[in-house]
Every structure is written in C-alpha cells, then in structure tokens.
Structure 1
Amino acid sequence: MKPHNLCKSTNVSTEEVWLQVRDHAQEIADSEPQLTALLYDVVLNRASLGEALAARLSRKLSREEMNREELTPLLADIFVNQPRVTQSAAADMMAIFERDAACKSPLEPMIFFKGFMAITTYRIAHHLWHNDRKPLALYFQSICSEVFGVDIHPAAKIGCGLLLDHATGVVIGETAIVEDNVSILHEVTLGGTGKISGNRHPVVRSGVMIGAGSKILGRVEIGRCAKVGAGSVVLTDVPEHVTVAGVPAKIRGKANTPALDMNQCFESGLI
C-alpha cells in the first residue's frame, strides 16, 4: 500500500532549500562556537537535506531501545530514497519561514522548532505505516508525543506546506485529512467523537488556519481558506472563506487567506 500524498500545490525545490540551510548553518557556526559541533554534525557534514533531516531527527528521537546508530540509517534510507518525504519536509520548512515572523531562515525549523520536528516525524511514521511496518510507525508516534508533545496518528493524511506553530498539545486522529498549506497553532485537536468506527475525524481543506486551543470533533469539514478562532469548539461543517469562533463555533465573518496571513483577528463583513 502506498502512502497517501496530498502534496499537489508545492513547487518548492529541495536543492534550493538545502543551499539556504547550508549557508545559514555556516554563518551561525562561524559566529557561535557553542553551536558549531551541532551544525557540523547535522548540516555541514551532510551531503543533502535528506541526510541532514535524518541526522537531526536521530539526535532528537534516539532512546535506549533504539540508539542513534540504529536510527540514523533507518531515517536516512527513507529521506534519501523517498524524495516525496524530503520534498514535503522542505515545503514545511519554507511555510514556516514565510509565515512565522520569528523564523529568520529555513534552517531554524530544523534546529529549533519542535512543530517542524513533530510533523517530520509523522512523515516517517506515515511512510512506515503504508509499508507494512505499523508497529514501528506507532513507536515513532509514541516517541513524537513524548519528545515534542504532539500526537499525530501515522495513518492520518496530511499534505505539505504545514505550519504547526508552537505545536504543544496538537492531536490529529487516525482518519483526519489535512490538505496543503494549512496553519495550526498549539493545543489544537482534530479528534473523533464516541466509539464510531471508520472515517470519524475532521477534514481540513487547503488554506485553513486553526487558532490555538481549538477543538474540531467528528467527521466535519473545514472549508477551503476558512479560519477557526482560538478556543473554539467545531462540531459542524464550516463553509469556505469564513471565520468561525465560539463554543459551539458560529460564523463571525469572512476570511481571505488566513493560513498565509496568520491574522487572528475577525475580518469585517458578517456573512
């Protein structure tokens, strides 16, 4: 079974991202001696973005039951030989760089941002899940939750250009679908309700922004370029290009390109 690939709208060049990452890593290594060893290990001694991602994740995820020497070749094999996984990660890095005012280069997510590390760990787990290695996929899910405070089921279907801003407490369930170019803040839940089997988690269309602390429950659809206000509880479908907020969430206004703008205020013009 092949992994689900939603990344249809990205034209990010993995090689161009890698060049930017290397250049900034060299600048920091030259000016900050305390980070030199890390940057040479993770970036400057590596031949590609895939190898660098494998090195960084192996440092973060290694445990007594799976040490770095075991983990690095496993991750490198996936990143190097599965270009879509690496390209998705590159698109995520650029999404963070372009949308997060605190991010000054594509290197920073890989070195400092746990939201990026969490979604990249999910991408590894998702690949394993669809290659008949489900116990190992669940292992990575468990370690991701422990290390980064982010719990994403490896069977969830997630596109690229994803920003998990701060990321702490994000939960994405097994049958959730998140399309390309979505921004999700911390403490967001894309969850199910009750013991319903089958498709029981939300569908989030492209261009959506979900504010901090929001809970979207059940097989509801968040329409393209909609905005979910912070702290909302969404139990029904949300049309495209609207802002919803409240408990339960109700339409409060319009929305334009919220995932890209990261504007959390309500826009004028009630629907």
Structure 2
Amino acid sequence: MAAATATNDRLWQNIRAEAQRVCESDPVFSKSLADAVLAHDSFAAALADLIGRRLGGNAAGQARFTAFSIDAFRGAPELIEAAGRDLQAIVLRDPAVAGLLPPLLHFKGYVALQAWRVSHRLWRHDQRDAALLFQNEAANVLQVSIHPAASIGSSVYLDHATGIVIGANVLIGDDVTILQNVSIGRGSELPTRSPRIGCGVFIGAGATILGDIRIGDFARIGADTVVTSDVPGGCTAVGNPARLTNCPAPASAA
C-alpha cells in the first residue's frame, strides 16, 4: 500500500507540473487548469471534482457526484491506485497522447471508467440507487453505460468510448483496451450469464460479445465482430459469426 501511495503521489506531482507548464505558456487556458488541477491537494480530490463536473450538470448535481466520489476514494484508496494505472495505460498505448493532462481532462472514456469505479463501490455497499444514478448520468452525458455490478481490472483504456455498453456481471481483466460502440453482455440462452474477458485483450470498434463465454488472455477481437463462443488466449476473432485466426500453435492444435 505504501508503494502504491508513493506512486500516486509521484503521478500527482507530474500532473501538477504539466499543468504549471501549460499555465505559463497559455494564459487563456490557465484559469480552467487552475480550477481543475492546481486548486486541489491530491489526485483523489481532483478526480472527484472532475467526475462531479462531468456528471453533475448543475451546481447541486456537481456537489452530489463529487461528494459520493470523495467518500468512495477515502473508503477505498485502491480506487485511486486503479485510476492512476488507467491514466498511465492511456499514455503508454496511445501514440497520439504526449502527457497525462489530455486524457485526464478531456478523454471521456477515462472519466466514465472512474465514475464506474465509484458506482461499483456504491453497489457493493448496498447504495444501489446512487450506483445506478452514476451509470445513468455517465450513459446520458458520456455515452458510456457500465453496470455497477460489472467487474473491471486496472490499466484499462476505453478509447474514443462513445457507445460502449458493459452489462451486469461482466468480468474484465487488467490491461484491456476497448474501442467505441462495443457491447458486452448476457446472451439469450438460459441461464443467462455474462462474458469473462481476460487480461491484455483488445476489443475493436463495433464488436459485440455475448453470453456465457470466455475471451482468453491477449486475445484480439476485430472490428464489428460478433462473438458468442469462447476465444482462446492469443487468438484473433473476426467476422459475424466470429471465426478464429492467428492462434498460437498450441491453441490451433487443440
């Protein structure tokens, strides 16, 4: 825990340093940066304020979402650790991103994911109405709907993010990248169960993943692919219905 806290402290100092440099070079943008970053004494405080600003709509709404987020971050510091890893994952995976500030302030997939982390904690603590309020507002404002009962790892990147739907009880591992217009949820079979997405998986734009299936570690799901059966680790799934390609030798031999 101490190591994670130190890492987030360094991350926060790097974010503040970026903000200071931008303020010095761009006076027009300096006021909004001061309010969003420099006015806060921690990454948790800045992130809670960001969630409030994006989901709240008006002053009362902003205060309500910010308060829920602050309480969640205080009660579960691991949420801030995950938020830090999510932010760094964007910088590592997106060649168009040159620093920490752009994804923090402007990538709606990032704030939608952090709002989901708060809603998931609320759900697990039987604050179901508040949790669903977070989901509803993120869907309305950010076009990202993640059910509070889903489970998502860290270092996750929702790229572009518009139109992402993740249903109840979906399991998503670490280091996953999900592009726009992706749907992951239960199928029509009985009993209805949700997909389980492994670590390091890439899910292309427009993909649909449904039912009681497993997507193995480091699999790739192509754009517009419809997946209703298991995808072994390391394989690529393409088409509708999905067919497997580029599987590692042991998987193809099986």
Q: Which amino acid aligns with 1:28?
A: V
Q: Which residue among 4, 7, 25 is the counterpart of 1:13?
A: 7
State the distance in 1 between where 2:79 and 2:168 align: 19
- Describe how 1:89-100 pairs up with structure 2 within 5 A: 89-100=83-94
- Describe how 1:177-216 pairs up with structure 2 within 5 A: 177-194=171-188, 196=190, 200-216=193-209
Structure-2 residue corresponding to 1:106: 100
Query: Any gaps of 5 or more consecutive residues in structure 1?
Result: 1-9, 256-268
Relative contact order higher in (CA < 8 Å, ≥ 6 apart): 1
Q: Which residue among 243, 262, 270 is the counterpart of 2:236?
A: 243
Give how far 1:63 is off.
Answer: 3.2
Taking structure 1 as the reference length, the TM-score comes to 0.86
- Describe how 1:9-88 pairs up with structure 2 within 5 A: 13-64=7-58, 66-88=60-82
Sequence identity, in percent? 37
Give how far 1:159 is off.
Answer: 0.4
Q: Give 1 or 2: higher helix fraction.
A: 2
Q: Is the 8 A contact 1:12 1:90 kept in 2?
A: no
Per-residue CA shift, 1:45-85, capped at 9, x if unaligned?
A: 11110001011111111135942233323322222342111
State the distance in 2 between where 1:195 and 1:181 align: 29
Matched pairs, number? 248
Q: Which amino acid aligns with 2:12?
A: W
Q: Is 1:122 aligned with 2:92?
A: no
State the distance in 2 between where 1:190 and 1:215 align: 6
Query: Any gaps of 5 or more consecutive residues in structure 2?
Result: none
Q: Is the 8 A contact 2:189 2:211 kept in 1?
A: no
State the distance in 1 between where 2:161 and 2:92 align: 17
Give how far 1:41 is off.
Answer: 1.2
Kindly tell me: are residues 105 and 152 of structure 1, through their superposed partners in 2, closer, same or farther at Cα, counting changes over 3 Å? same
State the distance in 1 between where 2:16 and 2:76 align: 21
**What secondary structure, in the 3-state scheme, does the structure 2 residue paired with 1:244 have?**
strand
Q: Which amino acid aligns with 1:207?
A: G
State the distance in 1 between where 2:169 and 2:60 align: 28
Q: Which amino acid aligns with 1:202?
A: P
**What secondary structure, in the 3-state scheme, does the structure 1 residue paired with 2:245 have?**
strand
Q: Is the 8 A contact 1:41 1:55 kept in 2?
A: no
Give how far 1:207 is off.
Answer: 0.7
Structure-1 residue corresponding to 2:223: 230
Kindly tell me: are residues 194 and 111 of structure 1, through their superposed partners in 2, closer, same or farther at Cα, counting changes over 3 Å? same
Q: Is 1:253 aligned with 2:246?
A: yes
Q: Is the 8 A contact 2:5 2:81 kept in 1?
A: no
